[in-house]
């Protein structure tokens, strides 16, 4: 039995029950009308509640929301693993910078190529190509000077590019959005 049929059965049951109960106090036709009014009111209240519940369940997350969730999840992964404080701070600085840039880009032009690239940096590049591979290394490799130097270099490059994006956004140079987006795509292979 689907939810619509179940709702009808409940409404009919309420109407019958109210008719019987009210018939002891008022005439049968009056009790029937009163029961019908209450049943109809109940039906519309339940239908509205059901529709609101369906709307809440079907609301998909925006690209911006997915990016924020991705950054928060990778930040938790970062905090659960013992790594050098300097590297953790560098990763978290990039995460914080992306968290600041995402809503600004989404507000200015959510369908732009720059918005797409920034979202990809937040959902794909930083978590999947930078942080998680680093966290997957054994402890000795994570603390190796060559690895640390390579990670620092990559994060410094990303920070510089995000600083440039912040400057473009602050100056509202919309003509530079697409040029920067194309550059970032190629630079970070997104």
| pLDDT band per the 50, 70, 90 thresholds, residue 175 | low
Q: What pTM, to 2 d.p., does this model score?
A: 0.62
| Residue 100, pLDDT score | 93
Q: What is the per-residue DSSP string for 114-144?
A: HHHHHHHIIIIIIIIIIIHHHHHS-HHHHT-
Q: What angle do CA 22, 26, 27 make, to 5 degrees?
A: 105
Residue 179 or 135, more confident? 135
CA–CA distance, 178 with 13 (Å, rounded to integer) = 62
| pLDDT value for 89 | 92
Considering Cα of 168, then 171, then 174, then 175, what sign does the dihedral take?
Answer: negative
Segment of 4-13, 32-41, 124-133 carrying the highest mean pLDDT: 124-133
| Confidence band for 186, pLDDT divided at 50, 70 and 90 | low
Q: What pLDDT is recorded for position 152?
A: 92
pLDDT digits (tens, 9 = 90+) for 62-118: 878 888 898 889 888 888 888 888 899 999 999 999 999 999 888 887 887 888 888
pLDDT of res. 149:
92
Averaged confidence pLDDT in the chain: 80
Instruction: Output the pLDDT for position 150.
Output: 92
User: Which residues make Cβ contacts (< 8 Å) with residue 38, sequence separation at least 6?
Assistant: 14, 15, 18
Q: What is the pLDDT of residue 133?
A: 93
- Among 50-54, 67-71, 136-140, 158-162, the minimum mean pLDDT is found in 50-54
- E strands, 64-152, are none
């Amino acid at each position: 039995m689907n939810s619509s049929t179940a709702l009808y059965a409940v409404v009919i049951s309420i109407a019958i029950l109210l008719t019987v109960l009210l018939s002891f106090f008022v005439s049968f036709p009056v009790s029937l009308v009163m029961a019908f009014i209450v049943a109809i009111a109940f039906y519309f209240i339940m239908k509205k509640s059901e529709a609101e519940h369906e709307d809440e369940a079907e609301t998909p997350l925006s690209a911006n929301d997915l990016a924020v969730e991705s950054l928060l999840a990778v930040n938790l992964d970062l905090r659960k693993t013992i790594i050098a404080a300097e590297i953790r701070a560098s990763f978290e600085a990039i995460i914080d910078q992306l968290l600041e840039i995402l809503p600004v880009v989404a507000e200015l032009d959510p369908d732009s190529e720059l918005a797409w690239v920034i979202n990809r940096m937040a959902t794909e590049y930083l978590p999947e190509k930078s942080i998680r591979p680093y966290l997957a290394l054994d402890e000795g490799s994570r603390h190796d000077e060559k690895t640390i130097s390579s990670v620092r270099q990559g994060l410094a490059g990303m920070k510089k590019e995000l600083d440039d994006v912040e400057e473009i956004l602050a100056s509202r140079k919309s003509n530079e959005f697409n040029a920067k987006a194309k550059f970032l795509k190629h630079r970070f292979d997104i």
